Amino acid sequence: MSVARGGRLAASIDAAMEALNTSVDVDSALWRDDIEGSMAHARGLARAGVLTSEEADTLVAGLRQVAGEIERGELVWDRAKEDVHMNIEARLTAIVGPVGGKLHTARSRNDQVATDLRLFARRRTTEALAALTDLGRAIVTQAEHEIDTLMPTYTHLQRAQPSRLSHHLLAWQEMLWRDRGRLEDALARLDECPLGAGAVAGTGFSLDREATARELGFARATRNSIDATSSRDFLMELAGALAILGVHLSRIGEEIVLWSSQEFGFIALSDQFSTSSSMMPQKKNPDVAELVRGKAALLIGSVTSLLVLEKSLFFGYGRDLQEDKRPIFDAFDNAIVGVRALTGAIATATFRRDRLRAALGGGHVCATDLADYLVNQGVPFREAHHIVGAVVRAAEERGVQIGELGRDELVQAHAALGGEGVASALDPAQAVERRSVLGGPAKARVLEAISDARARWG
C-alpha cells in the first residue's frame, strides 16, 4: 500500500515506510485526551481572535460527535492517516466542513501529542492511585482482623524472632504507601501544559497558554517550547514509579506463593484467585501471585525502554518519540491489573492462624530474648550471645527447642539461667509484647500503626 502526501513531498510513501510511519494502532488509545486537548485549543483560538466564537462552537460540537462515534465503536481507524490526530481531524472535517481545517492553526502534532500524553498520564495515574488505595485498605483490614495472630519473623528465610501477622502485613502496606508517594510526586511534576509550544519554537498567534492550561486542569503552562515538545522525563518518572511498585507487588506475591505452599501453610487463597492443574487434579495453584511477579519484569522493561529511547535525543522533537507510547501504555495496564488482582486475592484470603502460631515452636525464636535476659542480669551482650549460642547447640544435639531444656541444663550454660524470669524470656507471646518500641510488634504499637495507616489510606 502507498500513501499519497501533499505539499512538500509529491511522491507516494513506500509500503515499508508506511508500516514504520503509522502509529494509529497504538496511539488511538489517546483519543479521549486528543479530543479534550483539541476542544481547549479551539476555545483558545477563539480567545486569540483567530476563530470566531461560532467557529469554535462548531468545532467543539463536532469533536463531541467524533468522541461519541469512537465511544460507540463506530469510527474505523484509518492507517493511511497515520495517527490518532489525523484520524480525528479528518472525521471532524467530514462532519463540520472546511472549518475543521482551521483547528490545527497555531498547533503542531508535536505540542499536540505532548499534551495528549500528559492528559493520559494524569488520568491513568489517578486510576493507579485509586487502585493502590484499595490495596492498602485491604491489607490494613486484614491486619485489623489478625491483630492477635502471632507468627515468626524471618531473615535469610530462616525463623528469626516472634512477631504478629498484623505487623508483617503492615510492612507490605508501608512499601505501597511509598509507591503512592512516588506516583503523587510524578503527578505534580507532569502538571504542565505543552499546548501552544508548537513544533519547537512556539507560535506567532497570541494564544493565552495559561488560560488553556487552566481549562485542561493543569497548574501552569510549560515554560520552554523546546523542552515542552522534546522531553518525556515525566513518562520515565511514572514508569520508574510503576516499576518500583511492580517490584513491591512481586515481593508480596512471592510471600503469598511461599505461604500458600504445604510446607508453610500460612495462607489459603480463595478459589476466585487460584487455578488448578491441567494434569494433577489435587492442585490449587497461587497463580495470581505468580502472574503478579511476572508483571514486574514487564514493568522494568517499560521504564528501560523509555530511558533508552530518549538518551541520545537532541533538544527538539525527534520521531523516535513515536515509540514512547507503548511502554507507558503497557506500564499502566500491567501495574493496575496487578494491583487490582492482588487486592482481591488478599481481601478474600484466609490466614491459617494455627499454622502461623505453630511455626513459633521451631527455630529457637526466643534465643535473642534469652540473651537479653542475661543482659538484664548484668552479662555483657557479646558474652550472652555466646552463652545462648551454646544453649542452642545443646538443644540441637538433643533434637529439642531451647524452651524444652531442663533447668539443670540451662544452669550449666550460666548460673543466671536458673532464675524465675527464664520462662517468661522463652515465651513467644511475652517476647512479642516486650518489643514495644516504636515500629515494633507489641499489640499496642501495632494497633497504633493500624490506626495511622487507616487514617492515611482514608
Q: Among residues 238, 444, 427, 269, which one has the least CA distance to residue 341? A: 269
The pLDDT of residue 283 is 82
Same domain flag for 335 and 389? no
Same domain flag for 368 and 324? no
Same domain flag for 45 and 171? no
Tens-place pLDDT, residues 213-247:
999 999 999 999 999 999 999 999 999 999 999 99
The three three-digit cell numbers of residue 9, written as one number: 513531498
Does 1 reside within a domain?
no
Query: Highest-confidence range of 8-12, 13-17, 138-142, 393-397, by mean pLDDT?
Result: 138-142
The pLDDT of residue 344 is 97
CA distance 361 to 397: 17
Does 343 reside within a domain?
yes
What three-state secondary structure class fits 300? helix
Q: Among residues 307, 167, 297, which one has the least CA distance to residue 237? A: 307
Is the pLDDT at 279 greater than 70? The verdict is yes
Does 416 reside within a domain?
yes
Same domain flag for 209 and 298? yes
What rounded mean pLDDT belongs to the chain? Answer: 94
- The domain boundary, picked from 105, 122, 138, lies at 105
Q: Are 327 and 268 in contact (CB under 8 A)?
A: no
The three three-digit cell numbers of residue 392, written as one number: 542452642
Tens-place pLDDT, residues 415-431:
999 988 999 999 999 99
Does 335 reside within a domain?
yes
The pLDDT of residue 1 is 26
Any catalytic annotation for residue 104? no
CA distance 115 to 36: 10
Same domain flag for 240 and 383? no
Read off the amino acid at residue 277. Answer: S
Same domain flag for 171 and 235? yes
| Catalytic residue chosen out of the listed positions 12, 261, 276, 277 | 277
Same domain flag for 314 and 288? yes
- The domain boundary, picked from 326, 358, 390, lies at 358
The pLDDT of residue 12 is 67
Counts of helices then strands in the chain (DSSP H, E): 19, 6
Look-up: residue for cell 512538500? 8
Q: Among residues 372, 351, 418, which one has the least CA distance to residue 169? A: 351
Does 392 reside within a domain?
yes
CA distance 165 to 22: 53
Q: Domain of residue 428: give its range.
A: 361-457
CATH of the domain at 316: 1.20.200.10
The pLDDT of residue 10 is 56
The pLDDT of residue 275 is 85
Look-up: residue for cell 497461587? 286
The pLDDT of residue 256 is 97
Same domain flag for 162 and 275? yes
Is the pLDDT at 350 greater than 80? The verdict is yes
Is the pLDDT at 6 greater than 70? The verdict is no
The pLDDT of residue 125 is 98
Look-up: residue for cell 511455626? 359
DSSP secondary structure string for all residues of 140-164:
HHHHHHTTT-EEEEEETTEEEEEEE
Does 40 reside within a domain?
yes
CA distance 279 to 283: 9
Does 397 reside within a domain?
yes
The pLDDT of residue 21 is 76
Same domain flag for 247 and 228? yes
CATH of the domain at 41: 1.10.275.10
199 Cβ contact list (under 8 Å, min separation 6): 108, 110, 111, 229, 317
Read off the amino acid at residue 235. Answer: L
Same domain flag for 304 and 214? yes
Element (H, E) at 332: helix 325-347
Q: Are 332 and 128 in contact (CB under 8 A)?
A: yes
Any catalytic annotation for residue 277? yes
Is the pLDDT at 121 greater than 60? The verdict is yes
- The domain boundary, picked from 312, 333, 358, lies at 358
Tell me the average pLDDT across 94-123: 97
Is the pLDDT at 145 greater than 70? The verdict is yes
Same domain flag for 277 and 136? yes
Does 2 reside within a domain?
no
DSSP annotation of 3 reads B
Prediction pTM value: 0.93
Q: Among residues 201, 196, 248, which one has the least CA distance to residue 221? A: 196
> How many structural domains comprise the chain?
3
Is the pLDDT at 39 greater than 80? The verdict is yes
The pLDDT of residue 2 is 31
The pLDDT of residue 15 is 79
The neighbouring-strand residues paired with 163 are: 151
The three three-digit cell numbers of residue 310, written as one number: 530518549
The neighbouring-strand residues paired with 275 are: 285
The pLDDT of residue 3 is 39
Same domain flag for 433 and 386? yes
Is the pLDDT at 5 greater than 60? The verdict is no
What letters, b where the CB count within 10 A reaches 16 and e where it falls short, cover 369-394? bbbbbbeeeebeeeebeebbeebbeb
Q: Report the share of the chain in percent with pLDDT over 70.
A: 97
What letters, b where the CB count within 10 A reaches 16 and e where it falls short, cover 101-116? ebbbebbbbbbbbbbb
Q: Report the share of the chain in percent with pLDDT over 90.
A: 89
The pLDDT of residue 4 is 39
CATH of the domain at 373: 1.10.40.30
pLDDT tier for residue 31 given thresholds of 50, 70 and 90: very high
Tell me the average pLDDT across 66-75: 97
pLDDT tier for residue 374 given thresholds of 50, 70 and 90: very high
